[in-house]
């Protein structure tokens, strides 16, 4: 039985109850994080909590928790749920009011919920052990505050569903200028002539922690140039490689976009080098 954390209590998931008046339920009024953990070792814990604090500040939810408090919750969930390969889902909603009114109430306590769920083993840098993604595309129809990791994910859910219904693993999104933004639950990259290129971290994308770690490691290692700049969809279709990243998946090669092969349709050498560098360095974050 999975043990979850809810407002200071560790309880079986089936016993975890929140009010239907919780603003997370009524408005999607909350912030969340997903932190991967392999054999009890979390990847990117500090930047994940930093991003959550930025998100909470951006939406005016006051939760005065230290990194250590979050670390204790994560460590307890890992211990109670049998370490292994887990993602820690951390969720703070503005809390429950006794009425439905859009303005932020001043006198309610945030709801803090966290649980652990199993994820696949950490990907290995080996072309024969990874399955390349086939992805769909869609005009990005979400809001203009995608840098906030809000629990209001219906826009992302609808975009993911678009690809899912077509049998795709993800959906790449593009803006009104035909520029790549990200994917419905991942950041996106192209590789052209050995250069890794990814859209800049602005309000059109969530600045992924995997993205941050990957770009930092690549720049420090130095053999693969990195650019952050607008990427057109023509560049996507013309790329040598396309990748997506997220915390539970690390760096995933994309071999097909809208049914068209990327490059020669095989998993690329730059992916192999990048995932090798990521695997070697990720636990330093």
Cβ 261 to ligand PDD, closest distance in Å? 24
Q: Which residue is nearest to ligand PDD (CB)?
A: 208
Yes or no: say if 256 and 132 are a contact pair by the CB < 8 Å rule.
yes
Residue number, 96 or 135, with CB nearest to ligand PDD: 135
Residue number, 96 or 252, with CB nearest to ligand PDD: 252
Residue 163 burial by Cβ neighbours in a 10 Å radius (0-12, 13-18, 19+)? buried
Cβ 156 to ligand PDD, closest distance in Å? 5
Cβ 53 to ligand PDD, closest distance in Å? 14
Cβ 164 to ligand PDD, closest distance in Å? 14
> From CA 176, how far away is CA 178, in angstroms rounded?
5
Residue number, 11 or 207, with CB nearest to ligand PDD: 207
> From CA 116, how far away is CA 118, in angstroms rounded?
7
Catalytic residues: 32, 149, 182, 206
> From CA 138, how far away is CA 159, in angstroms rounded?
7
Cβ 33 to ligand PDD, closest distance in Å? 8
Residue numbers at the binding site for ligand PDD (CB under 6 A): 34, 156, 182, 185-187, 206, 208-211, 245-248
Residue number, 81 or 246, with CB nearest to ligand PDD: 246
Residue number, 96 or 187, with CB nearest to ligand PDD: 187
> From CA 214, how far away is CA 192, in angstroms rounded?
17
Q: What's the token pair of residue 211?
A: 């993205």
């Amino acid at each position: 039985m999975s043990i979850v954390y809810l407002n200071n209590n560790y309880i079986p998931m089936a016993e975890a109850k929140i009010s239907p008046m919780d603003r997370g339920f009524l408005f999607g009024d909350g912030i969340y994080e997903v932190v991967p953990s392999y054999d009890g070792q979390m990847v990117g814990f500090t930047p994940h909590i930093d991003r959550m604090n930025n998100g909470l500040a951006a939406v005016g939810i006051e939760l005065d928790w230290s990194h250590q408090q979050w670390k204790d919750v994560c460590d307890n969930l890992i211990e109670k749920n049998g370490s292994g390969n887990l993602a820690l889902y951390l969720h703070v909603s503005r809390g429950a009011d006794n009425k439905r009114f859009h303005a932020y109430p001043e006198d309610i306590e945030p709801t803090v919920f966290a649980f652990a769920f199993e994820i696949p083993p950490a990907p290995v840098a080996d072309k024969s052990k990874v399955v390349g993604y086939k992805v769909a595309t869609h005009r990005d129809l979400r809001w203009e505050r995608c840098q906030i990791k809000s629990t209001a994910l219906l826009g992302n859910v609808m975009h993911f569903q678009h690809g899912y219904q077509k049998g795709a693993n993800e959906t790449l999104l593009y803006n009104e200028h035909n520029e790549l933004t990200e994917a419905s639950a991942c950041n996106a990259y192209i590789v052209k002539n050995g250069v890794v290129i990814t859209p800049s971290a602005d309000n059109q994308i969530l600045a992924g922690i995997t993205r941050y770690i990957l770009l930092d490691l690549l720049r420090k290692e130095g053999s693969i140039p990195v650019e952050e700049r607008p990427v057109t969809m023509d560049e996507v279709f013309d790329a040598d490689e396309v990748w997506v990243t997220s915390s539970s998946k690390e760096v995933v090669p994309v071999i097909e976009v809208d049914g068209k092969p990327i490059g020669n349709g095989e998993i690329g050498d730059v992916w192999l080098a990048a995932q090798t560098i990521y695997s070697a360095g990720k636990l330093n974050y």
